Amino acid sequence: MTPHPTTPALPLGDDALILSHRLGEWAGNAPVLEEEVALANIALDLLGQARILLSLAGDEDELAYLREERHFRNVQLVEQPNGDFAHTIARQLYFSTYQELLYDHLATTDTPLTPLAGKAVKETAYHRDHATQWTLRLGDGTDESHTRMQRALDALWRFTGELFDPVDGLDDVPWQTLRDEWTTRITSTLERATLTVPEGPRHGAWTAGGGRQGLHTEPFGRLLAEMQHLHRSHPGATW
Amino acid sequence: MTTIAPEDTGQEALFDATIAADERIEPRDWMPDDYRASLVRQIAQHAHSEIIGMQPEANWITRAPSLRRKAILMAKVQDEAGHGLYLYSAAETLGTGRDELLDKLHTGRQKYSSIFNYPTLTWADVGAIGWLVDGAAITNQVPLCRCSYGPYARAMVRICKEESFHQRQGYELLLTLSRGTEAQHAMAQDAIDRWWWPSLMMFGPPDDESAHSAQSMAWKIKRHSNDELRQRFVDICVPQAETLGLTLPDPDLRWNEERGHWDFGPIDWTEFREVLKGNGPCNDERIGRRRRAHQEGAWVREAAAAHAAKHPAHPPHAGTDQEEAAR
């Protein structure tokens, strides 16, 4: 395989690709039919973003199906297993809030990603709204849903620090400002949902991070094995 | 037949005249109890088929071999959930509830199409389902766009448009495989071999054994008999298979000059009845997974209800709050 491109389209494309894959696992398993539609809708938006971004970096299928785990640049948050519906919603809330802030910024600056960001930020606003509404329903719903939602937010908290590690090639992004704004928005949503902002470090050598350097969590290898198996079994075939 | 009280005869005459004039019955119109029950049964079974039918295809979402195919497949499975929603809404206009219908599905009191009890063993099955299963569904459903019950007919117009699109995509998937490597061609042929006969069974039992057909046709819910539609489907598929460069697994398939139709071999109705009875290859898995999704989602639905009760004035966010909008 050719050397891996260093464009920032690759890490952002990997984020969208892997989260889309996880959401695709919900098909046929959602708690209500409306969520079958909504989760597939979000997955499709993300897959669309991934295809554009990966195409900016090279051949979309070669990049998706023929790289190994150590060459994927997505953050560890998006590769986390779906868990229960609360875990999926917590992951969506953390990630879509980040993605909306980042794309909002990229849409207004002049980079090769600007046209994509302009389109994607509209989709991402919908994803964030969807996650916010469910966070409110689950947080301020029943005792059980409150407990589950808090547990999910706590469990995924340590994967959020990595979101603000500077991405190579996106040097003009004010990462610290995005991080502060992200924290403000998440705090406000969780307060409205009667939930508590998790405590503990979000970043550090002993917590999560490293996805951007190709260091992933254990479930990721199995995700790739499933995703790539058929494509790799027929080298050179077109589909 | 229900007996009609004297004061109802005017309504019944109006109903009969509406059917005779090929006009639509609407939810507030009087209708015979049996007509209502028959429609609920058919629409519910149709809705259940969309929902259960997501599973064999969703089985391949995470393994789709290219990002383009993955996007097409995800969109298709999403459409199926949407079709289920339209159809449950149409059934609800007849005075039943979605929860009640789902409960009947989960407890085996209402059926879904026999075809979805077959497994998707290779990627080519996704194409075979698009071409054959959606093709058979369209052949069945296009006449329903003129069905006498308005809400059902209108739902079918929307559904048929999307289904035709899916069918073309399935055909194109198979064409790509058929013209691809030897292994891909063999994969496509194997899928057709496994899906052909179950697809023919989708049209239901032969006319002389079909319990509801005569009445449904008199009410103009159905427009053509099972055997008529099955023949129409075979006639469409034979030349399409030739174009694909694939064969249909029926040694008795022959053009009949006299009839102007393709003759085809006997269908294994024993297999059909076994699958309907619950003894097909995937019946237990399909219904088990549906029940599990419903049970595991109970706490989410309860949370949404509790939240809505606490915040009755909570305004739905424009166009995005699908759960609220559906209430």
- The backbone torsions φ and ψ at residue B69, rounded to the nearest 5 degrees and listed phi first, read -65, -35
From the CA of A179, how many Å to the nearest CA of chain B? 26
Contact A144 B88 (CB under 8 A): no
| pLDDT confidence of residue B94 | 97
Out of B64, B176, B321, closest to residue A238 by CB: B176
Alpha-carbon span A188 to A200, nearest angstrom:
18
Asked if residue B94 lies in contact with residue B43, where contact means CB atoms within 8 angstroms, the answer is yes
Structure confidence at residue A205 (pLDDT): 62
**Nearest Cβ partner of A32 from B180, B181, B301?**
B301
Question: pLDDT band for position A207 (50/70/90)?
Answer: confident
- Tell me whether 0.90 is exceeded by the ipTM: yes
CB B237 within 8 A of CB B132: yes
Asked if the Cβ–Cβ distance from B184 to A148 is below 8 Å, we say no
Determine contact: A38 vs chain B, CB below 8 A.
yes
CA distances in angstroms from A40 to A28, A64, A67, B269, listed in the order given: 10, 19, 25, 37
Q: Model confidence over A49-106: pLDDT tens digits?
A: 999 999 999 999 999 999 999 999 999 999 999 999 999 999 999 999 999 999 999 9
- In this predicted structure, what is the pLDDT of residue A203? 75
Amino acid letter, B137: A
CB B122 within 8 A of CB B59: no
Say how many CB pairs under 8 Å bridge A and B.
Answer: 159
Note whether A151 contacts B: Cβ–Cβ < 8 A: no
Check A65 against B317: CB less than 8 A apart. no
User: Which pLDDT value is given to residue B213?
Assistant: 84
* Average pLDDT, rounded, for chain A: 95
Q: Do A51 and B67 touch (CB under 8 A)?
A: yes
Q: Considering only CB atoms, which chain A residues are within 8 Å of B123?
A: 230, 239
pLDDT at B312: 87
Predicted confidence at residue B326, as pLDDT, reads 45
Hey, what amino acid is at A5? Answer: P
Selecting from B55, B75, B183 the residue whose C-beta is nearest the C-beta of A28 gives B55
A54 in B contact zone (CB under 8 Å) = yes
Residue pLDDT, tens place only, A218-230 = 999 999 999 999 9
Q: What is the mean pLDDT of residues A152-164?
A: 95
A21/chain B closest Cα distance in angstroms: 6
Angle, CA A40 vertex, CA A36 and CA A42 arms, to 5°: 125
| Candidates A40, A129, A137; nearest CB to B78 | A40
* Angle ∠(B185,B187,B190) on CA atoms, nearest 5: 110
Q: CB of A182 within 8 A of CB of A163?
A: yes
Give the pLDDT of residue B324: 46
Question: Can you tell me whether residue A209 is helix, strand or coil?
Answer: coil
pLDDT score at B210: 82
Which of A14, A29, A146 to probe by mutation at the B interface, max B CB count within 10 Å? A29
Kindly give the residue spans of alpha helices, DSSP state H, lying in chain A: 9-24, 33-57, 60-65, 76-79, 85-108, 114-139, 143-157, 175-192, 219-233
Q: What is the DSSP letter of B256?
A: E
Q: Does A37 touch chain B (CB under 8 A)?
A: yes
Nearest-Cα distance to chain B for A58, in Å, is 14
Q: Which residues of chain B have pLDDT under 50?
A: 1, 318-327
> What one-character DSSP code corresponds to residue A5?
P
pLDDT of res. B145: 95
Q: Residue B92: exposed, middle, or buried by beta-carbon count in 10 A (0-12, 13-18, 19+)?
A: middle
Closest Cα of chain B to A31: distance in Å?
A: 4
Place of tokens 């969807």: A130
CB contact under 8 A, A138 and B317: no
Q: For residue A174, how many other CB atoms are within 10 A of its CB?
A: 10
Nearest to B81 among A37, A44, A145 (CB): A37
Phi, psi of B267 (to 5 degrees): -90, 145
- 């069945």: which residue's tokens? B140
CA distance A97 to A91: 10
One DSSP character per residue, B259-312 reads: TTEEE-PPP-HHHHHHIIIIISSSHHHHHHHHHHHHHHTHHHHHHHHHHHHH-T
Q: What are phi and psi of B26, to 5 degrees?
A: -115, 165
DSSP assignment letter at B66: S
Indicate the DSSP class of residue A206. T
Give the C-alpha distances (Å, rounded to integers) separating A59 from A52, A54, B63.
10, 7, 18
Closest of B121, B48, B36, B112 to residue B80, by C-alpha? B48
Q: Could you tell me which of A197, A134, A87 has the C-alpha nearest to residue B307?
A: A134
What Å distances lie between residue A9 and A55, A69, A173, B234, CA to CA?
A: 9, 18, 14, 49
Residue A159: strand, helix, or coil: coil
A24-61 burial code (b ≥16 CB/10 A, e <16): bbbbbbbbbbbbbbbbbbbbbbbbbbbbbbbebbbebb
- At A1 the pLDDT is 46
Task: Give the model's pLDDT for residue A4.
Answer: 66
Distances (CA, A) of B155 to A12, A97, B49, B147, B259: 40, 37, 15, 11, 34
A68 lies within 8 A of chain B by CB: no
Nearest C-alpha neighbor of A43 from the set A82, A83, A5: A82
pLDDT digits (tens, 9 = 90+) for A112-136: 899 899 999 999 999 999 999 999 9
* DSSP at B27: T
Q: Is A225 an interface residue toward B (CB < 8 Å)?
A: no
Residues contacting residue B267 through CB under 8 Å, at least 6 positions apart: B197, B200, B201
Q: B204 — alpha (psi -120 to 50), left (phi > 0) or beta?
A: left
Give the C-alpha separation, A36 to A28, whole Å.
7
Residue A206 is predicted with a pLDDT of 67
